[in-house]
């Protein structure tokens, strides 16, 4: 069973992750170099598989530690919080309102209802007299 992630362990775990990530990167680059050398016939299978094994072990360690940190963070975040009921708000129905204001007029060109003080029709763009 894993211990709980607290303030005293979070920092060291993050530092460990950073260090392990750097180690994995170095090991991966060494593995790629070994692969190239192996393909060129400059190193044997034994040396190639040693580099591959080192990379796989470090990568597995990194993956394990990442999963542990994620689980611990999830546990820490989940503590003390209750599931809150969310109120679902239904959208208001669309209401089509066709209101003619006393302060409106009809466009001289297209017949649209426009504000009485409009100098131009918003629909056709033509000037009003």
Asked if residue 27 is part of any domain, the answer here is: yes
pLDDT digits (tens, 9 = 90+) for 73-92: 777 777 655 555 555 555 55
pLDDT digits (tens, 9 = 90+) for 106-118: 988 989 888 888 8
Q: How many domains does the chain have?
A: 1
Percent of the chain with pLDDT strictly greater than 70:
74
- Residues 95-108, mean pLDDT to the nearest whole number: 65
Asked if residue 58 is part of any domain, the answer here is: yes
Phi, psi of 16 (to 5 degrees): -60, -40
Q: Are 92 and 100 in contact (CB under 8 A)?
A: no
Give 116's contacts (C-beta < 8 A, 6+ positions apart): 101, 103, 104, 105
CA-angle at 21, arms to 20 and 25, nearest 5°: 115
Q: How many CB atoms lie within 10 A of CB 76?
A: 14
Domain holding 36, by residue range, is: 7-78
Asked if residue 118 is part of any domain, the answer here is: no
């Amino acid at each position: 069973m894993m211990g709980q992630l607290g303030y005293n362990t979070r920092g060291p775990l993050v530092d460990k992750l950073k260090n392990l990530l750097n180690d994995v990167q170095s090991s991966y680059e060494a593995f790629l170099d070994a692969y190239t050398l192996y393909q060129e016939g400059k190193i044997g299978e034994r040396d190639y598989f040693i580099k591959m094994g080192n990379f796989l072990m470090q990568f597995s360690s990194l993956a394990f530690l990442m999963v542990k940190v994620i689980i611990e963070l999830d546990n820490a975040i989940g503590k003390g919080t209750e599931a809150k009921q969310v109120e679902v708000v239904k959208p208001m129905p669309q209401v089509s309102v066709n209101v003619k204001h006393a302060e409106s007029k009809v466009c001289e060109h297209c017949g649209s209802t426009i504000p009485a003080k409009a100098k131009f029709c918003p629909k056709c763009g033509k000037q009003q007299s």
